[in-house]
Amino acid sequence: MMILGIETSCDETAAAVVFRGKTILSNIVWSQVATHHPYGGVVPELASREHIEKIVPVVEEALAYGKVDSNSLDGVAVTCGPGLVGALLVGVSFAKAYAYAQGLPLTGVNHLYGHVAAVYLEPHPPPFPFVALLASGGHTSLYYVKGPTDFIQLGQTRDDAAGEAFDKVAKLLGLGYPGGQVIDQLSKEGNPERIRFPRALLDRTGFDFSFSGIKTAVSRYVHREPEARSTRINDIAAGFQEAVVDVLVQKAVLAVKTKGCGHLAVVGGVASNTRLRTRIKEEAAGNGITVHIPRPELCTDNAAMIAAIGYHYLSQGKKSCLDLDVYSKIRKP
């Protein structure tokens, strides 16, 4: 089964062709980072306009690169939420029109489940059941994954997501957007123990997260010691990053131990963070846990992950009608 995936939930216009839910024939991503960089974050209206301009050429490129045409496709999978409503509408509207015109089945996909499905595209995906830590710019959650489309949410952030905290702290420090990569690089030159920021673990036996407090702590530190922006910025970045990573690692490992499944997937844009990758592998090894992290290009928003989980939905007969709508907030599994 050959699936065309379409992703426009935020600031990447993406299309991909995936065979049998695991073989990537093409995975095209048009990034809008240059557009939003001057504003220090994503501007929804600008994102929607660029999606309108790029959706057709991006899909055409995905089909051409994959050497397939509409007659070779067996279905269309598209992100319908959560995300920016205006951006989502571009992708969903195109997907509905394309599926209708070509006589193909359509399925709407939860963007977060798509991130988890990124591990299905790796040569050695985790066996079911496994625990998935999703850490991205808009969401931080823990899932117990019992099957390809069977997700049980164990916990989520109560305020800022991990990636959102990275971007806000980067903006506070004058590092620009997106902030995750910049902080990751600066942290390598800093001492994570020199400036210790608080770890908001909430209920230590639970699986919810909170990252707004650490953002406030960094802000207070910088305003209290303004010279630190120039003299200790590497240490600030390292201390902040270590605090976020500590919480993510502790919660994820605790979830695996609690569920007794032995396998942990780490997905989403923050999964590209080198410190998180190192720490979670070290902690997991000490607890007999096998870690699965997709290659970096599958951690950020992409359409291959949407096609991957869309394959499983369509294989199960889960099709969407042409009245498929979008949604901005997380829907319960």
pLDDT averaged over every residue in the chain: 94
Please determine, for residue 105, whether its predicted confidence score (pLDDT) is greater than 70: yes
| Bond from prior residue into 125 cis (ω within 30 degrees of 0) | no
Tell me what the mean pLDDT of segment 96-104 comes to.
Answer: 98
- Give the CATH class of 2-116+298-315: alpha beta
Neighbouring-strand partners of residue 153: 143
Please determine, for residue 204, whether its predicted confidence score (pLDDT) is greater than 90: no
Tell me what the mean pLDDT of segment 266-293 comes to.
Answer: 96
- Please give the model's pTM, rounded to 2 decimal places: 0.94
Q: Determine the Cα–Cα distance for residues 179 and 278; give it in Å rounded to an integer.
A: 19
Alpha helices (H) in 260-293, listed in sequence order: 274-286
- Give the CATH class of 127-293: alpha beta
Tell me what the mean pLDDT of segment 162-183 comes to.
Answer: 91
Tell me what the mean pLDDT of segment 209-227 comes to.
Answer: 92
SS3 210: coil
Tell me what the mean pLDDT of segment 34-41 comes to.
Answer: 87
SS3 260: coil
Residue 313 pLDDT grade (very low, low, confident, very high; cuts 50, 70, 90): very high
Task: Give how far Cα 7 sits from Cα of 111, 155, 177, Å.
Answer: 8, 25, 21
Element (H, E) at 100: helix 85-102
Same fold yes or no, 2-116+298-315 and 127-293:
yes
Query: What are the residues whose beta carbons fall under 8 Å from the beta carbon of 167, sequence distance 6 or more?
Result: 41, 137, 177, 178, 179, 180
Residue ranges of domains in the chain: 2-116+298-315, 127-293
Sheet containing strand 75-81, strands side by side: 23-31, 12-19, 2-7, 75-81, 106-110
Q: Tens digits of per-residue pLDDT, 189-200?
A: 999 999 999 998
Question: Which residue would you say has higher pLDDT here, 61 or 158?
Answer: 61
Neighbouring-strand partners of residue 18: 3, 24
Residue 333 pLDDT grade (very low, low, confident, very high; cuts 50, 70, 90): very low
Residue 202 pLDDT grade (very low, low, confident, very high; cuts 50, 70, 90): low
